[in-house]
Structure 1
Amino acid sequence: MVKAGATGRCLCGAVRFTVASEPMWTALCHCDSCRRSGSAAVVPWMGFAPDNVAWTGARTFFKSSDIAQRGFCGTCGSQMSFESTRWPGEVHLCATTLEDPSAYEPQLHCHTAEHLHWLKIDDGLPRFERSAEP
């Protein structure tokens, strides 16, 4: 489980974060937008109050929809965060950027209506066709 004090970084190390709490939630996202921005079949996210994330280095932001922006390292391109008006007061961190990603434990799958048919994950976790309700 991700604990308070956990740290993460981009590929080159120019952008780093430290969390001051455990995540409010964790999820594996199958939506097209997350897959494309993360260049992955599924993207592991964890949600925090913005005040519980301390950043070093400067993230660059891309407005990925009318309601959302994604933060990434402007040097190496690693996706670091997701913020949306749908979830005000939250910043979502990409769990694969953790220094110890093995500490991450997903709680559910979201946007499974968009999952890739060739990806088979049989982990027994709850599945939501769209977002799990906040």
Structure 2
Amino acid sequence: MTINGGCHCGAVRYVISGEVRRHSLCHCSDCRRCAGAVPVGWASVRRADLAVQGDTTIYRSSGDVERRFCAGCGTGLFYESESLFPGLVDVQSATFDDPDAHVPTERIQLADAPEWLARAHLLPGHRRFPE
């Protein structure tokens, strides 16, 4: 499996050339605050299976956690923690060129999910901006 992706401005591009071990939709407060979104999709891959072109900036959010993002546009891209996930990198799946390249396999950290999320599917939907 090959998955291509990158940041909003195009300065950082990546290729995943191996198996996606898990694809989680995370609801934790750290991810929510760092990404400004609920939930945040993370595709976990072996570090050796991820090739990155372009410069990223590191934000150490807690312990040995490193969140990498594009210095130009601020797009969140990668999450690494050797103590939690040795040899793995989590890639923000919203940055895949093809959003359907890999379907999420689980929802995690639901204890931190906002209560309204359970009813979000009941909100009116619009294919584009509403009239």
Q: Give me the TM-score of the superposition, normalised by structure 1.
A: 0.85
SS at match of 1:69: strand
Q: Distance in 2 between matches of 1:121 and 1:71?
A: 32
Q: Which amino acid aligns with 1:36?
A: R
Q: Choose from 58, 63, 67 the match for 2:64.
A: 67
The one of 82, 99, 102 equivalent to 2:100 is 102
Of Structure 1 and Structure 2, which has the larger fraction of its residues in helix? Answer: 2
Cα deviation 1:8-52 (Å, max 9, x = unaligned): 010000011001113011110000000111110110111001000
Larger radius of gyration: 2
Computed over aligned residues only, the root mean square deviation of the Cα atoms, in angstroms, reads 1.6
Give 1:104 shift: 2.7
Alpha-carbon separation, structure 1, partners of 2:98 and 2:68 = 20
Please list, as runs of the form range in 1=range in 2, the aligned pairs for 1:111-130 lying within 5 A after superposition: 111-120=109-118
Question: 3-state DSSP class of the match of 1:102?
Answer: coil
Runs of 5+ consecutive residues of structure 1 not aligned to the other structure: 123-134
Q: Secondary structure at the match of 1:60?
A: strand
How far apart in 1 are the matches of 2:6 and 2:97?
A: 7
Task: Name the residue aligned to 2:90.
Answer: 92
- Out of 52, 71, 76, the position equivalent to 2:73 is 76
Would you say 1:53 and 2:54 are equivalent positions?
no
Provide structure 2 residue ranges, at least 5 long, that are not aligned to the other structure: 121-131
Does the 8 Å contact 2:3/2:101 carry over to 1? no
- Cα contact 2:55–2:70 (8 A) shared by 1: yes
Question: 1: distance between equivalents of 2:69 and 2:119?
Answer: 27
Cα distance per residue 1:44-67 (max 9 Å; x no partner): 111001000000001110000012
Distance 2:77 2:118 in 1: 26
Question: Please, which of 12, 33, 40 is the counterpart of residue 15 of structure 1?
Answer: 12
Percent sequence identity over aligned pairs: 34
Report the CA distance between 1:6 and its aligned residue.
1.3
Q: How many residue pairs were aligned? A: 120
